[in-house]
Chains A and B, each alone.
Chain A
């Protein structure tokens, strides 16, 4: 197709494909022609279907676990439905050409997540404000409101490029917040939480968005110096020593997250995001080689020095060893999660009819094991397919986009979702060591919901921009 620095041409057949020429804005005097909002109507149809599925899932949980249905379906199902339909209406006014699939997919994942969290609540006899599912609905409200805010406030994603270094500053502050003495809080050994009043929040989740914005802005301006010069070695052009600065800074940042916040997953997420974005920006595989090498080296050293990292590796490699299974901080959770998945088998026990609550953190870190137990392999495949579709819509924006900043931001944001899925689900299913991240949209937890819904808002805005670029008429 094209080379890294050549003219940006989207693959044929994609709407909005065009060239990098500046897009003329519609003249003020021209009366806007009222056209039916085909994309929005499709989105509405999908959303109504999704809301029905979500409510049905809650009812199934009730019949499965309680044997009867009560009014909870209205708080859990209708609450979310009102929110996502509100977002849909906002899109009708301010982003008419936004992608029609992103919102329904996020709403479906969020809704299934709430149903499964509610199922764990029933098993643990939590009701009212104690109920994680109720809090999840409230958090969904906050998150979706913020996403609507993103769409309303950011009318053009390019303004974000102006805030490149502010984004970096915001990311740094967010990352440092949990280290502060009063509001910082350590849960299960990881110091990644802040605690204000009754609310806990993981600022690192939101920091990844700020980081993606920063990387996109920074790399667009510096890509030439990062890609053009350097020495050739083993068939690859490696960067000059003085251009290694950014990757070393990011590496140091990730390592300090591992050492001081004891959070492997987040470190891997940030570093993976950076490596992918610098690769896409520069087109140089050497960055990937360098990045993976640095991270592996850091990981191996951390595994030698830090007990908790070493434990994660041991649990991963020898999970079924009785000694490791019984140990405090051993593989009990991992093995119980596998038992849960096995119990689900191909078609699952049915919603409300398994025993996912045996596994610790079944509603947050291990929600995918809970889903796998009650919806089976078939259900998991459907969930994975939804994630893949979501990510592919994000990538599509990058393929079709016309400005490099937007393209980089699109790939960065979608890739964090992909990488986060891989890290947490891969951890639960023993592809990689367990590191403890949240499953996007599904896991219980406000910070994760807020972060991922903001990503939804940004992707919708990006996709609207892409479609609104008029084709250059030659």
Chain B
């Protein structure tokens, strides 16, 4: 019997070995996978037990966690929810998160690598885990001005400090109140989320970085830069001044916005074409230069780059492999060109900064609960699309466009403003996309801005960038100058 008993003992031992192995597999090897399963409520609950870090603007919280008495220890609160919804995004029970709440989640929740020791320390000492706070580069005055100026239009405003790339304002409309998504009831969250998803104008999308529109005439900054710098054409280089340009190899034609020629005379200079925002000379320039100089310049300005600010920015596109007709269209911002408002603001910012394009960024510093700085912002150069000479030429052209060209609604008394409008077509019968981008003061730029009014600002195909977008930009620039 003893021999059998031994064998049974071995079987029992093996049964327990199987249990040791299975629990080790689950609790050690698969633990991370299981924790990241979307159905795992424990992971979400755990994040609500942490005092999530605050998101700060000018030292004031625009998102913070306050203690509660319900089953979760903290409630997320957004004191000016709608004003900053494009920046903070939302943080929900069950429906994920977005924007800063998502892209800096590791820091806010205290689980980033740089907070590991701190986390361990709090675990051992029995304190509740606490996340790091994030100080943004947003200027509350400019943000408020941009929010008010955009009013009830569907669109976006983004402002950048040209010398550093710090983002000073980020507004997207229609907006939403993140507080309505921060409630501690999954069904309410789901209902609100679904209704926001279905709402007209996509309020949950941050249009400053995630909405791609044809850039229209704002792209003439790229085309003109390419002509002056990459193709080495003088600013008084001329093109035939036509009222209609047949597209090569096609029966379509291109016309200028006003329908006639570009100013007087048989020939038109690059400068005039830019200031008056004429399509035909730009199209002719594009075909004359060829694709390469244009594509190189677009790339240097940031088209085709994958940016994080730290949210992921949709990639703006200048297409390649174009025939002459497409090349002509792309040269004045139509065809397959698409850009985010941030990209358009970067055009102005590079011109304003003497040709150096700084990497745009929304975060000044990340601060641990013990006030030590985990990360701080350093200005970084993204590229140098323009020489200082070309930059100052472009700057002059943009000032003239505002002073007595196609962008007159952006004028500010006593300050020289540089600007460029855009009125982009989206297709047969569709409302236009209305643009303005510029900076001020032109001699010592402090703010660069891009405004987009989508859906024609409600005017279908009768609105223009100068009419609707330029006044919004003016108020944003004024707010920036009043500082």
Contacts and interface: CB of A to CB of B under 8 A. Distances in A.
Interface of A: 1-4, 8-11, 276, 279-281, 283, 320, 325, 335, 338-346, 354-355, 358, 372, 376-377, 380-381, 384, 387-388, 391-392, 395, 398-399, 404, 407, 411, 415, 418-419, 421-422, 425-426, 429-431
B2 A9 contact: yes
Contact of B19 (A395, A415, A431): A431
Given A342-B34, A355-B45, A372 B27 contact: yes
A342 B30 contact: yes
Contacts of B1: 2, 4, 8, 280-281, 283, 398, 404, 407
B12 interface: yes
Given A2-B3, A377-B28, 8 more contacts: A1-B2, A1-B6, A283-B1, A342-B30, A343-B35, A384-B20, A395-B8, A398-B5
B24 interface: yes
B16 A384 contact: yes
Nearest to B40: A339
A276 B26 CA distance: 30
B2 A388 contact: no
A280 B20 contact: no
Contacts of A421: 15-16, 19
Given A8-B1, A421-B19, A430-B22, A325 B39 contact: yes
Contacts of A372: 23, 27
B212 to A, nearest CB: 33
B110 to A, nearest CB: 16
Contact of A343 (B24, B28, B33, B46): B46
Contacts of A2: 1-3
Interface in B7-51: 7-9, 11-13, 15-16, 18-20, 22-28, 30-31, 33-35, 37, 39-43, 45-46
B4 interface: yes
A355 B23 CA distance: 18
21 contacts: A2-B2, A4-B3, A10-B2, A11-B2, A283-B1, A335-B39, A339-B42, A343-B35, A345-B28, A380-B23, A387-B16, A388-B13, A407-B5, A415-B8, A418-B16, A419-B15, A421-B16, A425-B19, A429-B22, A430-B26, A431-B22
Given A1-B2, A399-B2, A422-B15, A342 B27 contact: yes
A358 B71 CA distance: 13
Contacts of A280: 1, 4-5, 8
Q: Which of B12, B15, B33, B41 has the most CB of A within 10 A?
A: B12
B39 A341 contact: no
A262 B125 CA distance: 49
Contacts of B25: 429
Give the interface centre of A281, A358, A377 by most chain B CB atoms within 10 Å.
A377
A426 B18 contact: yes
A4 B27 contact: no
Contacts of A376: 27
Secondary structure at the A interface, as helix, strand, loop or mixed, is helix
A183 B20 CA distance: 40
A127 B4 CA distance: 49
Report which residue of B1, B11, B45 has the largest number of chain A beta carbons within 10 angstroms of its beta carbon. B1
Nearest to B7: A279
Given A4-B3, A280-B1, A343 B20 contact: no
Contacts of A431: 18-19, 22
B26 A342 contact: yes
Among A279, A343, A380, A391, residue most surrounded by chain B Cβ atoms (within 10 Å): A343
Contacts of B9: 392, 395
Contacts of A325: 39
Nearest to A325: B39
B15 A418 contact: yes
Nearest to A401: B1
A358 B46 CA distance: 13
Contact of A380 (B7, B27, B41): B27
A345 B46 CA distance: 14
A404 B2 CA distance: 11
Task: With a 10 A CB-CB cut-off, give which of A283, A342, A376 has the most chain B CB atoms.
Answer: A342
Nearest to A419: B15
Contact of A418 (B12, B20, B45): B12
A113 B157 CA distance: 60
B27 A344 contact: yes
Q: Which 6 residue pairs across A and B have the least CB separation, nearest first?
A: A342-B34, A429-B22, A377-B27, A422-B15, A342-B31, A280-B4
A426 B33 CA distance: 20
A181 to B, nearest CB: 38
Given A341-B23, A429-B22, A279 B12 contact: no
B5 A411 contact: yes
A280 to B, nearest CB: 4
Given A279-B8, A280-B1, A407-B1, A346 B19 contact: no
A343 B30 CA distance: 11
A399 B12 contact: no
A355 B43 CA distance: 10
A339 B16 CA distance: 22
B3 A395 contact: no
Interface in B251-290: none
Interface in B37-95: 37, 39-43, 45-46
A22 to B, nearest CB: 18
Contact of B27 (A346, A387, A430): A346
Contact of B2 (A8, A392, A419): A8
B22 A339 contact: no
Interface in B441-467: none
Given A372-B27, A429-B22, A343 B42 contact: yes
Nearest to B9: A395
Contacts of A407: 1, 5
B18 A422 contact: yes
A358 B42 contact: yes
A391 B12 contact: yes
Contacts of B11: 276
A322 B40 CA distance: 13
Which residue among B7, B27, B41 has the maximum number of chain A CB atoms within 10 Å of its CB? B27
B42 A340 contact: yes
A324 B186 CA distance: 22
B39 A422 contact: no
Contacts of B43: 343
Contacts of B7: 279
A342 B12 contact: no
Contacts of A354: 42
Given A1-B3, A3-B3, A407-B1, A341 B16 contact: no
A7 B88 CA distance: 81
Contacts of A422: 15-16, 18-19
A407 B1 CA distance: 9
A243 to B, nearest CB: 18
Nearest to A11: B2
B31 A345 contact: yes
Contact of B8 (A344, A411, A429): A411
A412 B133 CA distance: 61
Contacts of A388: 12-13, 16
